[in-house]
Amino acid sequence: MSKILALANQKGGVGKTTTSVNLAASLAATKRKVLLIDLDPQGNATMGVGVDKNALDKTFCDVLLDGLEVHEVLIHIENAGIDLLPANADMTAAEVDLMRTDNAEQRFKDSIAPVKDEYDYILIDCPPALNMLTLNALVASDGVIIPMQCEYYALEGLTALMDTIEQVRSTVNPDLKIEGLLRTMFDPRNTLSNDVSAQLIEHFGDRVYRTIVPRNVRLAEAPSHGLPALLYEKTSRGALAYLALAGEMLRRETRNRAAAAVVL
């Protein structure tokens, strides 16, 4: 059974795309079948796995707006072992056109329905805004992963995202939940980072992943080579952190299924 996860944070520069690309590659390394969907007009996740966004004839925008089949747009990323639905600046048109469409918030969910069961995990790299594209992702998702830096404005931005998630849950997707909060670009020498981290744990408890992604040069370099960190420098601290995150997610999933089975 597929699990659809939106990676969302309206604040830019928090490691959202880095997490999308590297978590996808890390889950694939555990022999899971993974689809990465780039929903950001910047197309950074597309470029981050080695696909030239400017050379694409078709993108996920054509699926959303023109009814193309997913398989007509799908790109298999051989070295990472994942499938990609790419994006480029055309996705900006999707944002505008969707607002004129009936049942606009359901368009994404309907588009991926035919392929949903072909994957163990579908990861959605959302744009850094609480817009119609992000809303579409939330409506289609089982859970939300929130990458965030432990800095001064992080908690303030988190409140707006939580409000949006709650609105989606109360209106169109009652099963939506916060899958986890991921602390990214973390520097343990920074007092503020440690303070914000402690506040997150106090407020969200075990929804905060134990895994912490550190600041890491190799992790920052990897996108310019069109590679996940796991393929660029597999022993780097960044690559190892995302492998650890994948493992933590899979263990959580196993525990949750076991608990559900006991209830039944």
pLDDT attached to residue 256: 83
pLDDT attached to residue 257: 83
Task: Please say whether the beta carbons of 214 and 242 come within 8 A.
Answer: no
CA atoms within 13 A on the CB side of 220: 8
Burial class (CB in 10 A: 0-12, 13-18, 19+), 102: exposed
pTM of this prediction? Answer: 0.96
Q: Which two tokens stand for residue 184?
A: 């990214």
Task: Please say whether the beta carbons of 111 and 80 come within 8 A.
Answer: no
Q: Which residues of the chain have a pLDDT value below 70?
A: 264
Q: How far lies 157's CA from each of 134, 153, 193, 231, in Å? A: 15, 6, 16, 32
pLDDT attached to residue 264: 64
SS3 letters across the chain: CCEEEEECCCCCCCCHHHHHHHHHHHHHHCCCCEEEEECCCCCHHHHHCCCCHHHCCCCHHHHHHHCCCHHHHCEEECCCCEEEECCCCCHHHHHHHHCCCCCHHHHHHHHHCCCHHHCCEEEEECCCCCCHHHHHHHHHCCEEEEEEECCCCHHHHHHHHHHHHHHHHHHCCCCCEEEEEEEEEECCCCHHHHHHHHHHHHHHHHHEEEEEEECCHHHHHHHHHCCCHHHHCCCCHHHHHHHHHHHHHHHHHHHHHHHHHHHC
Q: Which two tokens stand for residue 259?
A: 């608990």
**Could you read off the pLDDT of 187-222 as tens digits, one per residue?**
999 999 999 999 999 999 999 999 999 999 999 999
Other Cβ atoms within 10 Å of 169 Cβ, number: 15
> Could you tell me which residues come within 8 angstroms of residue 167 by beta carbon, excluding any fewer than 6 positions away?
none
Quick one: CATH architecture of 3-263?
A: 3-Layer(aba) Sandwich (3.40)
